[in-house]
Amino acid sequence: MKTRFVAAAVALALSVTVLSACGSSSDSTGGGDTELTVWIMKDSVADDFLTRFERDFEKRHSGVRLDVQIQEWEGIGEKVTAALASNDAPDVIEVGNTQVAQYAASGGVKDLTDKVGELHGRDWLPGLAEPGKVGGKQYGIPWYAANRVVIYNKDLFAEAGITEPPTTRADWLADTRALDKGKTQGIYLPGQNWYTLAGFIWDEGGDLAVRSGGEWKGALDTPEALRGMDFYRRLQALGKGPKDSDEAKPPQAEVFAKGDVAQIISVPGGAKIVEQANPELKGKLGFFPVPGPSAAKPGSVFTGGSNLIIPEASAHQDAAYQVVKALAGKKWQTDMARLMSYVPNRTSLAHVIEDNEGTAAMAAGAAQGHATPNSPQWAAVEATNPVKGYMTAVLTGADPAKAAEKASASITKTLGS
């Protein structure tokens, strides 16, 4: 997955060889010897998880052998596209949740709509399920998710007299103003953290782009999106974050580690990086979901993560589905969430990570998860990313409406190419 807010990069390729004996057990795929290949992204899961999954799958499917291969992310998009068009495609592939539309557009991905009920689709996280659904058909099966939360310095909150994390955007602004005094930054929020902006826009009922009459159009210039940008502007002003770069320049974890910043917006795993940079902060960091307009529910967040797809060119689609079903099922979702600090694909499984403050906050926010516009051309929008330029323009004094109109026109042009 190209971003994407998972503590680990998402890029592994897993080759799975399935040799199932005919009529060997009730769990067997049947039909004689079958060789099955599955690609999953590097660092998605630990070796220990893969080993245990292989052994369990082999036990439940007589004659099955799993051959796991690791593959780098660089160039994987071109490789997947080529594989989908070939006669020798893998049987299961892990893809970034926002990439499903791009691959489905090729016509080389199997429609799994008839499996949604069996896989408890009504319980899936929206931010994973929605990108996997294209034209009313479910091509991608949600696997795991990660999203941003607020990481805060407990000592600085206590010094400001704040005893409980805020649960509304109004309270969040008020608390951040109280924290932004003297040498302390209320929040470190770079000017081009556009995934965070997207959440504020979704909270207002807007979007980055919308589809109407079969055509995609940029939507940053709608009243809803402009309100989301205005909230971002007010929050960003309560710190010293650069207005012309994102959270990677400079790395915001390093800035936070200096000890004079009260909050950052990051995946929970960012706290580990902070603690590595400044061990004195270990045990002093807390987490809470990004607040929403009301206390009734957390704010909207971008859901990064992975889906599983089955190529049309797979010669063993029934056997491939058994691997997908197992990986997306309760047993391995629970195991993976606890081991990797991911959010499971089902909302009803959020409790399995409640004993970890960071992942619990992430799971609470995941229920309000969204994905970027489900267009095959969205990757091209991100390549030039007019959203970032728009944000910098507004934060440095440009007229928001005019800047939004310009950025929306750029998005529309790219999505229509």
User: In this predicted model, what pLDDT tens digit does every residue of 195-211 receive, in sequence order?
Assistant: 999 999 999 999 999 99
Task: Count other Cβ atoms within 10 Å, centred on residue 165.
Answer: 19
d(CA 381, CA 117): 34
Residue 184 lies in a domain: yes
Instruction: State the CATH number of the domain containing residue 280.
Output: 3.40.190.10
Q: Which domain holds residue 332?
A: 38-146+304-366
Measured CA to CA in angstroms, residue 417 lies from 77, 81, 374, 377, 381 at distances of: 19, 19, 15, 8, 10
Residue 277 and residue 332 in one domain:
no
Residue 273 and residue 315 in one domain:
no
- What was the pLDDT predicted at 77? 82
154: pLDDT strictly greater than 80: yes
Residue 356 and residue 400 in one domain:
no
d(CA 305, CA 143): 7
Residue 141 and residue 156 in one domain:
no
Residue 51 lies in a domain: yes
Residue 191 and residue 277 in one domain:
yes
Residues 307-318: what's their mean pLDDT? Answer: 93
Q: How far apart are the first and last CA of the chain?
A: 23
Strands in 90-218 per DSSP E: 92-96, 133-134, 137-138, 141-146, 149-153, 209-212, 215-218
Query: For residue 160, which phi and psi values (nearest 5 degrees)?
Result: -85, 0
Task: Report the number of distinct structural domains present in the chain.
Answer: 2
Residue 255 and residue 385 in one domain:
yes
The position carrying tokens 């800035």 is 255
> Which residues pair with residue 149 across a beta bridge?
266
Answer with the one of 330, 348, 366 that is the final residue of a domain.
366
Residue 226 lies in a domain: yes
DSSP symbols for 224-292: HHHHHHHHHHHHHTTS---SSS-TBTTBHHHHHTTS-B-EEEE-TTHHHHHHHH-GGGTT-EEEEPPPB
d(CA 116, CA 137): 10
250: pLDDT strictly greater than 90: yes
333: pLDDT strictly greater than 60: yes
Residue 137 lies in a domain: yes
Angle subtended at Cα 29 by Cα 43 and Cα 104, rounded to the nearest 5 degrees: 55
Average pLDDT, the chain: 89
Residue 44 and residue 88 in one domain:
yes
Residue 28 lies in a domain: no
- What was the pLDDT predicted at 72? 67
- What was the pLDDT predicted at 298? 97
7: pLDDT strictly greater than 70: no
Query: How would residue 288 be classed by pLDDT, with cut points 50, 70 and 90?
Result: very high
Q: Which of 215-219, 365-369, 405-409 has the lowest mean pLDDT?
A: 365-369
Residue 92 and residue 236 in one domain:
no
Conformation bin of residue 114: beta by default, left when phi > 0, alpha when psi is -120 to 50: alpha
Residue 1 lies in a domain: no
Residue 296 and residue 309 in one domain:
no
